[in-house]
Structure 1
């Protein structure tokens, strides 16, 4: 096979997986790509990673030469399918990766996965009325350049992005493949509660809250820290474990250090510094252990939480009863009061404290949420994600039946 040939049932498919340069520990899309490539390998798909730019970036490179180099490497691979993972932040809001379809040879079908969509344009000063005719004629897309217009299939992770792509382009080749957890259950539940509490200096019955994911100003960690004094007034031993790194594509190192210092100062100002532990980036097995040890999870994102969040899916996959803020348009795939409990308001420490208190004071509620969380997470597994991708690739590589 190679360069877009037909595929027989069960035959191994070769995919050039094009993605941004950030390492997984600094980028959610990079983490997704690593897990997808591994899952595809177990499903008979050879996915070869082609980063646009150096994965351990130093100085002396830029996006145009990096895009040209990525295109050359894809051409040398002669893959059956070219699959580009796209989010503007992954490419630091450069428009050059959107030129990739113009640099690739004809033959192998192109697939683009949109991890972010519907809010950005390059260049940003072009008015909507000028973008619309270009997008409707499938000539150019304001966010992805030639990627969406040239793609045989556009993969989205949620219905909102699917609607946005269809609205702009009229494309009918949009495929929804939901996300899977950032961290799967590593089976370290036995003894996790005792081990983690001992490491934190906690008593066996002291409540432990967990936040998981990249720590960023939009994740609501400020409000979570500000909610701790009210929670600890009735539960003096309560602790908060913030599991995740600060440095990311969305928060470069200098800004990350400043935000970490801001949260440390905030915790000290509210008298809860000893109750908050920032773990930094942890190996997956230790994340799994921390989530198994927690009594409740809290994700008070300032824009609300949906099943687009790999952090939420990770908590659900560990059966962790979790309180979340709700977006302006709630996610129909996330039944509030069933798989999660809702925080009544965003950017509101009192609402966070009220929701968490309800969880901690109601063991029956926690058990019910945990059971439903596991059921929901089962629909978001990596084997399912890989199988959906293989089916998509096969649909592009299988020739149509001959006419009688």
Structure 2
């Protein structure tokens, strides 16, 4: 399928209604809106954005939005990503959606800039929405200086990270204030902020076998994909410091190593490195690397913990689904913060680790939490209140409102 044919709509549609039903979706009709959801190829258990997309699509079904998954499956080569981008555009034309929604993170497309060419390939009658899951730190190509990007972004001709996606979108969605500010600075536009929701529901129940069957000591918990930027090296060093005075202390590292950002071979090497570090620090018997767990087992493991800890090397914000999950479980949690955190809904709901990449700072924050039951209760209550404002039903309702505002009377004419 050629570029010109796509723009001209030269795509064999077949029956659009049947195309949606073939995906196991409810029949289109009534006041439903149809959204083609374009996203990266990784499965949900290997990628946080894919997990978000899966949960969002499920939640949208409860508010009258029928969704179709349109993955962009590149093979790592330039030709492969170009073919994947063209194929995704062709599928959108075939589906005849009311709205096209692109979920964007550079890691989701293995840092290929080619999905940024999608907008001119898409049907012009369907408003384009782009959600930015990562923003403000990347460019494609990386060697172009800022002075070249700035006028292009201000004129809404090109965006250094998303190509034509941000400039051509009728609406840009962000999950946090930091990304909103960055988009505003670059484009003078006003993105729509729709905060994340916890990525694991509270299932309650006891800890699963092997994750804390003996409540003879205190338990710390880390949750999320395990990656070098998550600060686990420093956390292991902090555990070694704490164990000197708390010999029964344990750490659960809950989450898989293999991810879109850390392929299998690199993930295996990183896990071996951390296990060797734990052995060298003399805490191997106190640390459990669970690997990827089903949602119910994650919930049970979090309930087995006394204190949560997220010592990310870049800091943690409310855009972390892992943090929201820990707060939703009433787990008092210590986090590192970004260089310029600014006002945050997390104020008073988390304990702050005063320095990043610093085992002593992590150990000090955790010791204060472990020693102060009243502080733990206060943080647990505040964390639950914060997480209560982050629900998938709320995320879905905000998206439905956005889609309604974009489709408007054109939607009514199409479905009359």
* TM-score, with length taken from structure 1: 0.91
Note the C-alpha offset of 1:252: 1.2
Note the C-alpha offset of 1:332: 2.2
Say which of 302, 306, 310 aligns to 1:291: 302
Say which of 180, 188, 211 aligns to 2:197: 180
Alignment partner of 1:269 is 2:287: no
**DSSP-derived class of the 2:235 partner:** helix
Note the C-alpha offset of 1:333: 2.4
CA distance in 1, matches of 2:267, 2:31: 45
Q: CA distance change for structure 1 residues 58 and 116 in 2, over 3 Å: closer, same or farther?
A: closer
CA distance in 2, matches of 1:157, 1:185: 22
CA distance in 2, matches of 1:42, 1:161: 28
- 1:211-230 → structure 2 map (5 Å cutoff): 211-230=222-241
Q: CA distance change for structure 1 residues 110 and 124 in 2, over 3 Å: closer, same or farther?
A: same
Note the C-alpha offset of 1:331: 4.8
Structure 1, 211-220 or 124-133: larger mean CA deviation: 124-133
Say which of 50, 53, 56 aligns to 2:70: 50
**DSSP-derived class of the 1:398 partner:** helix
CA distance in 2, matches of 1:343, 1:96: 39
CA distance in 2, matches of 1:307, 1:392: 22
**Runs (5+) with no aligned partner, structure 2:** 1-15, 18-28, 411-416
Match of 1:311 in 2: 322
Match of 1:346 in 2: 356
- 1:64-103 → structure 2 map (5 Å cutoff): 64-103=82-121
Say which of 292, 297, 320 aligns to 1:281: 292
Match of 2:218 in 1: 207
Number of matched pairs: 384
* TM-score, with length taken from structure 2: 0.89
Q: CA distance change for structure 1 residues 201 and 71 in 2, over 3 Å: closer, same or farther?
A: closer
Say which of 334, 338, 360 aligns to 1:327: 338
Q: Answer yes or no: is the 8 Å Cα contact 1:306–1:331 preserved in 2.
A: no
CA distance in 1, matches of 2:146, 2:63: 42
Q: CA distance change for structure 1 residues 399 and 60 in 2, over 3 Å: closer, same or farther?
A: closer
CA distance in 2, matches of 1:14, 1:238: 51
CA distance in 2, matches of 1:89, 1:59: 15
Q: Answer yes or no: is the 8 Å Cα contact 2:212–2:304 preserved in 1.
A: no
CA distance in 1, matches of 2:213, 2:301: 14
Alignment partner of 1:398 is 2:408: yes
Q: CA distance change for structure 1 residues 231 and 141 in 2, over 3 Å: closer, same or farther?
A: same
Note the C-alpha offset of 1:324: 0.6
CA distance in 2, matches of 1:93, 1:34: 21
- 1:32-181 → structure 2 map (5 Å cutoff): 32-53=52-73, 62-172=80-190, 174-181=191-198
Say which of 246, 262, 265 aligns to 1:254: 265
Match of 1:360 in 2: 370
How large is the RMSD of aligned CA atoms in angstroms? 2.0
Q: Answer yes or no: is the 8 Å Cα contact 1:307–1:331 preserved in 2.
A: no
CA distance in 2, matches of 1:205, 1:358: 20
Alignment partner of 1:14 is 2:34: yes
**DSSP-derived class of the 2:378 partner:** helix
CA distance in 1, matches of 2:38, 2:287: 39
Q: Answer yes or no: is the 8 Å Cα contact 2:40–2:72 preserved in 1.
A: yes
Q: Answer yes or no: is the 8 Å Cα contact 1:203–1:237 preserved in 2.
A: no
CA distance in 2, matches of 1:124, 1:348: 30
